[in-house]
Structure formats: C-alpha cells, structure tokens
Chain A
Amino acid sequence: SQQGEEDPQALSIQEGENATMNCSYKTSINNLQWYRQNSGRGLVHLILIRSNEREKHSGRLRVTLDTSKKSSSLLITASRAADTASYFCATVPNSGGYQKVTFGTGTKLQVIP
C-alpha cells in the first residue's frame, strides 16, 4: 500500500527556531493531512491541504504541497517547548475510500527551551 514517509526521522532545535518536516508519498492523493502526537497519546489533527492547493497557513503552521514531486512540508515557525511531539503526515487517496489513508512513520521533534 501507499506509504507516506517523513524526513527527518528526528529533529532537535532551540526554542524560537523554525522546524521543517517533509513528507513524500507515492500515489495520487485527494488531500494530505498533518497530525501531531504527544508522547504516549493519540493523534491530533493539525491541518489539511487539498491536492489543488499549494500552500496553507494556520497560526504558526505553514504547509506546502507539491503534487508533481509528491511531497509536502510542514513548517512550524518560532517553535516553543510545547511543540515537542511527533508529527505525522497522512495521505488520503483519490480512490479506495478513507480507509486507504496512509500514515507515515513520523518526525520526532524536540524543542529545547
């Protein structure tokens, strides 16, 4: 099945810096979503970008999507210690239904105060 892959696997930055995570995927998508997971908890939806969109903003989050390269990036600006978490991309395919959503293996972000 289609697999989203995040890059890097782990990222450590100082508070106030920007954090960029990337996601690559293999097949045609309807939309791509980013989720956050605090340690030992469930996932929380952050932002959704449709296949006909190139960029989207939500607060300190900026997501870009390049369907020609089959990749997306999540930028967190002015990071805070509370942003420490794992971040996952999820790709929703054009066909096959939502059950075919594929989650990546995640980027583990550590923000050092």
Chain B
Amino acid sequence: DVKVTQSSRYLVKRTGEKVFLECVQDMDHENMFWYRQDPGLGLRLIYFSYDVKMKEKGDIPEGYSVSREKKERFSLILESASTNQTSMYLCASRISAGMSTEAFFGQGTRLTVV
C-alpha cells in the first residue's frame, strides 16, 4: 500500500516563525501536492510538484514556498507564519501516468498559529 506520511499531526507556532511541514511518500510517485483545508472551503491547492526540483503554484501560494530535493519528500514552508494560516494541511501524491489515477493523502497536519 502507498504510504504518505506527514511529519506532525499537530503543530502550534508563533506569529512570524518560519514553519516547515514535511511529507514523505514511499511509492516513487512523481506528483506531490500540498493542500489546505478550511471549513466551508473544501481543499485548496497551495503548490504541487511533478518532479524533483520542479514546482508550480496552485490556487493559493501566497505566504508559502515548497522544496522538493528528493523524489520522495515534499516540504511546505511558511516563510513567516500568520494567524490566517491556521488550518489543516494535507499532503498528497499520485503516479503521473494518465488522469485516471487517484491521489493518496497523508494524515494531515493541523497547524495553529498564535
């Protein structure tokens, strides 16, 4: 089974801190994604990566950056955390072959910025 592991289930950070959220997948998937999930808004794509060192902005990239130095690892970085970044963050991966494949999600990181 594909496993997508996020480094933390819960995080509490202070405003202005630099925050790193880590995601690792073990199935050699090319595509990896970071979403945030807020009540009433569904999942919104922050960034995605289709290969090592390749990244593209999603719908809400402001205030975030990403890093993909190795195929299995995709990191989301909050450059200077703000309270409006308090949210549930979900990492996902999928194989890139065609459109009819599903995404595999990590367990989520609930981030609170105080």
Contact = CB atoms under 8 A, between A and B. Distances in A.
Contacts of B40: 105
B82 interface: no
Interface residues of A, number: 26
Interface string A75-106: 00000000000001010100000110111111
Contacts of B99: 30-31, 92, 98
Nearest to A99: B48
Contact of A43 (B6, B56, B90, B96): B90
SS class of chain B's interface: helix, strand, loop or mixed? strand
A33 interface: yes
A42 B108 contact: yes
Interface residues of B, number: 29
A45 B103 contact: yes
B45 A105 contact: no
A103 B103 CA distance: 12
Given A50-B100, A92-B99, A40 B42 contact: no
A78 B42 CA distance: 27
Interface of A: 1, 3-4, 30-31, 33, 35, 40-45, 48, 50, 88, 90, 92, 98-99, 101-106
9 contacts: A35-B105, A41-B107, A42-B6, A42-B92, A45-B102, A45-B103, A98-B31, A99-B56, A104-B42
